[in-house]
Each structure stands twice: as structure tokens, then as C-alpha cells.
């Protein structure tokens, strides 16, 4: 693909609001996971909560969108000057020429879970103040973003579980390549809810300790929440050295099982190979891999095999989910932003909570953050249903 | 920048809606050769799935396999090689209701199968298991604009990646109490197999561009009810042209104020 300019980006997770806090957390090797005290949930697990969500107020004319997920959307948009950069792009290109491509797994399902506790005792009806379209529906975060900026162009939500907000980069890149739009707001937002907390627990995929990706004793995920956005544009002919670029993307399907990865990581390997092909790069031109690394025994074993098969042990790798938790549908965008921070700050992030790397996985796994030149970084995101996506980001020479 | 025309060749069509069990029936009704007889959607049992998955197959899984396989068979395409774009206004409504109902009680130990079936891409996941296709699989939602969103991304994959892509746009119903908040009446959907180049099997060339015009409605009221109540069936005016074997232009609903102007040239 023709490289695209990532002209602005931001991420908010439990690690902090915005780039500065996220970078500091990555440098310190901090884990922001806490024992789960969310809502009425009684599970022995740890979570990555964005506490500032609760204080967010939506504008009056957007009140119908009010729910935890859209509050997190707004919090994310209003961080690092991202909304201002979007408004400048709208001024440059026009309100029908800026597209919206956002990933989520559960959008505002929490609103429905809460509404089901307030059903009419006689009729069973949901309360009048519950609005399905602008809270529960998977498109609600994209429609909210469209109305927030007064946009009139294309918009779509990608919902492929935990690969959702990696795949939005690929979908937006296609429309930019075709010229149907001139800029794209891409990103992902997922927020804590009972469905995912009790759901991952039902699959015995949540850990009772903070998650330990790639540790020999890893035993499950820590569910997190997050919002991350990037503004994608076609790169001008003269782009300042050091500008951030999307260099390639690769997508594949496991075609294997609904909730278990292909044991040999075949789909993961195909996605990484497709991303390298899309970027016109060889495996030895990648300086850092941000792994999907959920800390389930099966995911890390399968992904590790795929990475080892393509990259051997030559490329420094880490999963940053020990820092942020698994932000599910937001993970692709959150970790693309972490790659952007690695590239812009010559930082190889480590893996908080991981103590003993699994000796059965022969990759160069980073337990601690360190400084090193990073010119090109690859990010993996894999989801339920066997949906895989890899992205490659780099710096303009 | 000059926009590239969003063009592809349609090679296969799959269809299922209330009273319209397949594309041959639907095309006959759309040509006016037979009336639409109101009846609930009939979802065939997916013999292609392994027994364990077949038992767990929900209505959206049956729906998407039915229309996707019909379109692929129409085109003589090998499903194990096809990239796919699934686009739906919602996920499995019955499964969602059961989860929310249980999570509102004191016993929140939900079933793991219910949980993995709750993802928006559940039907796409079962499609992968059934067809063994490891090609890219997109899963979109744009509420009532889901057909247009799916068409835009499927065309982009055909043109940018030069890859034959199967678009599967579909919707299903919620039971009460969610039905009162989102009243999609029944299952319905359309599948279009899109190729980058004309072949002996091509049915028509489709070219899509943004438009501010008003979308075309169906003149028959029972067909207009399907078009306006089931988001995937916003495609019906296009399908009527295909059924009648007509070339021409029309406008489909997408995301107000952006609509999609469609030019269709029969082969």
C-alpha cells in the first residue's frame, strides 16, 4: 500500500489519559491494573478501568448518546488536541470528505444490561429512557463521533471482537486509496460491562491475578477499557522526516474455532505476512512487535509460534496488556498508538507483571522497557471468531 | 485527488427474506411474475457445519450461510478462497436477550457458548469454520446504513486488493423487550459475489458513487415494507433491476445526507 500519514493520535486507558501519561507509564513499566470493583461485579479478577469516564458529560444536543462507552469516546476525542486536529481536517477537506472507521466489541451494551434490571414488573418492558440505537448498537460510537463533529461522509463500525480497531486502519486505508475520502478518523473504544467480565470468566479466561503475558505461569486476561484514535490522511509529497506513517496492514481468518486460536498460529502468521507484503518489507526490517499477548495459555502459545516462524528470535517483542489490560475492541488502536510512541521516542516497551518468560516460546521477549532506535513497528490483534489483523507503522525517512 | 470509480462485477446473488426463501423466488416476485405471500423467513439447516457447530447454529448463522452459499453457488465460486464482508445492523438478538436477562439476576454464570455467540462477528466466525476460508473477513455495523457500509468496503476490497469478495448483508430480529426498542421484524439478507474483472459468469457491472439524491422506494407496498424494515433490504431497488435484467441508475439509502448512487450495466 501507499504509506498514509498519521497526522494526529491519542490513547486513553487505565495507564493514563493521553500520550504523555501513556508514555510515562510505558517507560516506568507500570501496571495500572486493579482488583475488580466495577459496578456490582463479584469476580475474583483484575481490571483496567478508566476512572475519569464517570465524570464526563455529553453536550445537551447529544444526550441521547449518553452511556459509559460514548463518555469514553468523548474523553478520548478531547485528549491530546485530537478533536482540534479533526476540526482542522474538516476545514481543509469538507464535512463529507472525512470518514469515520471505529472498532468496538460491545459498544454501550452496559446500558442494556442496566436497563434489564429496571424492566416493568408487569409488562417486562424496558424503561422509556433506554435508547437502543445511540447506546447499545455497535454503530453508536461511530454515529456519536459523526454527530459530535457534524460530519456528513461515510461512517462504519468494525466489530470483529478483539481485532476490531486494528481492522479499521485497513478499511480506512482502502477508502483513502480510492479517493472516496481525504481523511479518516480511525480508532477503537470499548468499555467495561458485565457481558465481557462474566463472559471471559465463563470461558475460564480471566486471571485472578494481574495478567502476565508470555509468562510461564500466565493464566488469563485482565479485562480493560480504552479509547484510542488516529487521524489518517494521504501523505503529502514532502513529508517532514520523522512523521508517523501507516505502512501496511494484513488481515486473515483462522477458520478454526469461535473462541480458541489456531493452535499453530496459522492465521496469525498469515496476517503478519500479509502486513509485511502490504508494506513491502522483509521480516528483518521490523524493529519491534507489539504482540496481541492476552496472557491466556492458548493465545500466547499460538501467537508465539507464528512470530517465531516469521521472525525467529531476532525482533524485540512485548505485549503491553500487563500495563493496560486487554481493552478488547479498542486494543488494536490502543496498541497502534503504543507503537507510535515507541517509534517517536525510541522506546521498546516492556511487559509489566511478566516475571519468567515461557521457555517454550522462542522469541525475543522484553520484560523491561529499554531505549533503542525503532524505525518500524508491527502490532498484532486477534479476535474471537478467528479474526486476525496486523498493522505496520513507521517513521518517514 | 481524483476518485477511482467504485466498480466491480456481480457474479452471484443470494437472498432470503420473509416470504422469499431464495433468489429465484425473490427475482420472480421482483419481476412481478408472482405475488409476495407473507410468511416467516425459512432458515435452512446448515449441513456444511460440523455437527457441534450445527447444534449451536443460531438464526443469523443459518441466514448468512444460506445467502452466502447461494451467491457462491450461483457464481460457481470456491467458498474456501473467498474474502468476505459481513454487514449487519445488529448481532444475534435472541442470544443478546438471554445474556442480558441472566445478567440482571443473581445468577450471572452465563454459558460460555452464549458469550462467544454474542460477538457481532459470530456469524462470520461460523462461516469461516464452515467454509475453511482463511481469507480476510470484515464485519461491519452501521445501524440502518449497514448495507451501504458493507457495499463500500466490499467494493474497496475488490478494487484495492484485486480480490473476489463476497458481501453478506443481513439482519435479524430481537425478541421482547428489546423488540419494542428495535423492531426489525424477521431475518433477511442479501449476498453479492463481487469480482474485479469481467468473466463469462458476470451478471452486471456495478458502479457506486456518493449522492445527495433521495433513495428510490419500492412501488409495491409489501416490498417497500421489507426495504424499510430490514436494513439489508435497502438493496431491494438494486435487486429489482437485476431481477428485471435492466441497466440504469438509481439511488440507495446509506447514511443521511450521504446516499449511494448506483449505476448498473447488465452483461
| Confidence at residue B1, expressed as pLDDT on a 0 to 100 scale | 58
Nearest residue of A to residue B160, measured between CA atoms = A174
pLDDT band at residue B52 using 50, 70 and 90 as cut-offs: confident
Catalytic residue among A162, A211, A317, A339: A162
pLDDT band at residue B56 using 50, 70 and 90 as cut-offs: confident
| Confidence at residue B2, expressed as pLDDT on a 0 to 100 scale | 62
What is the Cα A165 distance to its own chain's centre? 5
Tell me the pLDDT of chain B averaged across its residues: 96
Question: Cβ–Cβ of A386/B133 closer than 8 Å?
Answer: no
Beta strand extents in B5-121 (DSSP E only): 6-16, 83-88
Q: What is the pTM of this model?
A: 0.98
pLDDT band at residue B54 using 50, 70 and 90 as cut-offs: confident
Q: Does B180 touch chain A (CB under 8 A)?
A: yes
Determine whether A277 is an active site residue: no
pLDDT tens-place string over residues A6-37: 999 999 999 999 999 999 999 999 999 999 99
**DSSP annotation string for A238-249:** S--TT-EEEEEE
Report whether A337 contacts A9 (CB < 8 A).
yes
Provide the Cα torsion A287, A289, A290, A291; round to 10°.
-170
| Confidence at residue B212, expressed as pLDDT on a 0 to 100 scale | 93
Burial of residue A282, with CB atoms counted within 10 A of its CB: 0-12 exposed, 13-18 middle, 19 or more buried: exposed
pLDDT band at residue B50 using 50, 70 and 90 as cut-offs: confident
Determine whether A136 is an active site residue: no
SS3 at position A223: strand
Q: Which residues of B touch A117 (CB under 8 A)?
A: 104
Shortest alpha-carbon distance between residue A78 and chain B (Å): 24
Catalytic residue among A317, A326, A339, A389: A326
User: What value of ipTM does the predicted structure carry?
Assistant: 0.98
**Rounded to whole angstroms, how far apart are CA atoms A26 and A30?**
6
Report whether B16 contacts B188 (CB < 8 A).
yes
Average pLDDT over residues B109-117: 95
| Confidence at residue B261, expressed as pLDDT on a 0 to 100 scale | 97
Residue in B104, B141, B180 nearest the CB of A117 = B104
Residue in B109, B121, B132 nearest the CB of A160 = B121
Do the bridges between strand A16-17 and strand A4-13 make them parallel or antiparallel, or are there none, so unpaired? antiparallel
pLDDT band at residue B199 using 50, 70 and 90 as cut-offs: very high
Residue owning grid cell 498514509: A4
Residues 96-115 of B with CB under 8 A from A: 96, 99-101, 103-104, 108-112, 114-115
**Rounded to whole angstroms, how far apart are CA atoms B90 and B100?**
15
Domains of chain B, start order = 6-200 (3.40.47.10)
End-to-end CA distance of chain A: 17
Question: Cβ–Cβ of B103/A96 closer than 8 Å?
Answer: no
Interface test with chain A among B95, B100, B165, B259, by most A beta carbons within 10 Å: B100
pLDDT at residue A308 is higher than 90:
yes
Catalytic residue among A136, A262, A292, A317: A292
What phi, psi does B193 have (nearest 5°)? -90, 120
Quote the DSSP letter at residue A105: S
Report whether B228 contacts B252 (CB < 8 A).
no
pLDDT tens-place string over residues B132-153: 999 999 999 999 999 999 999 9
Domains of chain A, start order = 4-395 (3.40.47.10)
Q: Which residues of A touch B89 (CB under 8 A)?
A: 137, 139
What phi, psi does A375 have (nearest 5°)? -100, -35
| Confidence at residue B53, expressed as pLDDT on a 0 to 100 scale | 81
Provide the Cα torsion B50, B53, B54, B58; round to 10°.
-150
Q: Does B163 touch chain A (CB under 8 A)?
A: no
Instruction: Using the CB atoms, write b or e for B24-52: b if 16+ within 10 Å.
Output: ebbbebbeeeeebeeeebebeebebbeee
Determine whether A292 is an active site residue: yes
Amino acid at each position: 500500500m501507499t504509506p498514509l500519514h498519521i497526522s494526529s493520535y491519542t490513547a486513553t486507558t487505565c495507564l493514563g489519559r493521553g500520550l504523555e501519561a501513556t508514555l510515562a507509564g510505558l517507560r516506568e513499566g507500570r501496571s495500572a491494573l486493579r482488583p475488580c470493583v466495577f459496578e456490582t461485579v463479584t469476580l475474583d479478577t483484575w481490571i483496567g478501568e478508566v476512572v475519569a469516564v464517570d465524570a464526563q458529560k455529553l453536550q445537551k444536543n447529544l444526550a441521547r448518546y449518553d452511556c459509559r462507552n460514548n463518555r469514553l469516546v468523548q474523553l478520548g476525542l478531547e485528549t491530546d488536541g485530537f478533536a482540534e486536529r479533526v476540526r482542522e481536517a474538516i476545514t481543509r477537506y469538507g464535512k463529507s470528505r472525512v470518514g469515520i472507521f471505529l472498532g468496538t466489541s460491545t459498544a454501550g451494551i452496559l446500558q442494556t444490561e442496566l436497563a434489564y434490571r429496571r424492566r416493568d414488573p408487569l409488562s417486562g418492558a424496558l424503561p422509556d429512557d433506554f435508547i437502543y440505537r445511540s447506546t447499545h448498537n455497535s454503530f453508536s460510537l461511530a454515529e456519536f463521533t459523526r454527530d459530535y463533529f457534524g460530519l456528513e461522509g461515510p461512517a462504519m463500525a468494525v466489530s470483529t471482537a478483539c481485532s476490531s480497531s486494528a481492522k479499521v486502519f485497513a478499511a480506512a486505508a482502502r477508502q483513502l486509496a480510492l479517493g472516496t475520502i481525504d481523511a479518516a478518523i480511525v480508532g477503537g473504544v470499548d468499555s467495561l460491562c458485565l457481558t465481557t467480565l462474566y463472559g471471559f470468566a465463563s470461558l475460564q479466561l480471566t486471571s485472578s491475578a494481574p495478567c502476565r503475558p508470555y509468562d510461564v505461569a500466565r493464566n488469563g486476561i485482565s479485562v480493560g477499557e480504552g479509547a484510542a484514535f488516529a487521524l489518517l490522511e494521504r501523505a503529502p509529497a514532502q513529508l517532514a522526516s520523522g512523521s508517523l506513517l501507516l505502512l501496511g496492514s494484513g488481515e486473515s481468518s483462522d477458520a478454526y474455532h469461535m473462541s480458541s486460536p489456531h493452535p499453530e498460529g496459522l492465521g496469525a502468521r498469515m496476517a503478519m505476512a500479509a502486513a509485511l507484503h502490504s508494506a513491502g518489507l522483509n521480516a528483518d526490517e521490523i524493529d519491534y512487535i507489539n504482540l496481541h499477548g492476552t496472557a491466556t495459555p492458548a493465545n500466547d502459545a499460538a501467537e508465539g509460534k507464528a512470530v517465531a516462524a516469521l521472525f525467529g528470535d531476532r525482533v524485540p517483542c512485548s505485549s503491553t496488556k500487563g500495563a493496560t489490560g486487554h481493552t478488547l475492541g479498542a486494543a488494536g488502536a490502543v496498541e497502534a498508538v503504543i507503537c507510535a510512541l515507541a517509534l517517536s521516542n525510541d522506546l521498546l516497551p516492556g511487559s509489566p507483571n511478566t516475571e519468567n518468560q515461557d521457555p517454550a516460546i522462542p522469541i525475543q521477549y522484553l520484560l523491561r522497557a529499554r531505549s533503542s532506535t525503532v524505525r518500524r513497528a508491527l502490532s498484532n490483534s486477534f479476535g474471537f471468531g478467528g479474526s486476525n489483523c496486523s498493522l505496520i507503522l513507521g517513521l518517514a525517512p | 485527488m481524483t476518485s477511482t470509480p467504485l466498480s466491480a462485477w456481480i457474479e452471484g446473488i443470494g437472498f432470503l427474506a420473509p416470504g422469499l426463501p431464495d433468489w429465484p423466488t425473490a427475482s420472480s416476485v421482483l419481476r412481478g411474475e408472482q405475488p409476495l405471500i407473507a410468511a416467516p423467513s425459512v432458515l435452512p439447516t446448515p449441513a456444511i457445519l460440523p455437527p457441534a457447530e450445527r447444534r449451536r447454529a443460531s438464526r443469523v448463522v443459518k441466514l448468512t450461510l444460506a445467502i452466502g452459499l447461494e451467491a457462491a453457488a450461483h457464481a460457481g465460486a470456491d467458498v474456501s478462497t473467498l474474502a468476505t464482508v459481513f454487514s449487519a445492523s445488529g448481532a444475534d438478538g435472541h442470544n443478546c436477550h438471554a445474556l442480558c436477562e441472566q445478567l440482571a439476576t443473581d445468577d450471572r454464570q452465563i454459558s460460555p457458548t452464549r458469550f462467544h455467540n454474542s460477538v457481532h462477528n459470530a456469524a462470520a466466525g461460523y462461516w469461516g469454520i464452515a467454509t475453511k476460508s482463511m481469507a480476510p473477513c470484515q464485519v461491519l455495523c452501521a445501524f440502518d446504513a449497514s448495507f451501504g457500509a458493507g457495499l463500500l468496503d466490499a467494493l474497496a476490497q475488490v478494487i484495492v486488493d484485486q480480490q473476489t469478495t463476497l458481501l453478506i448483508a443481513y439482519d435479524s430480529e430481537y425478541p421482547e423487550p428489546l423488540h419494542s426498542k428495535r423492531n426489525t421484524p424477521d431475518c433477511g439478507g442479501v449476498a453479492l459475489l463481487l469480482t474485479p474483472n469481467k468473466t463469462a459468469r458476470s451478471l452486471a457491472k456495478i458502479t457506486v458513487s456518493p449522492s445527495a439524491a433521495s433513495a428510490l422506494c419500492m412501488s409495491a407496498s409489501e416490498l417497500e415494507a421489507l426495504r424499510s424494515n430490514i436494513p439489508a433490504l435497502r438493496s431491494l431497488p438494486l435487486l429489482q433491476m437485476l431481477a428485471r435484467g435492466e441497466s440504469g441508475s438509481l439511488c440507495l439509502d446509506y447514511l443521511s445526507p450521504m446516499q449511494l448512487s448506483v449505476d448498473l450495466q447488465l452483461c
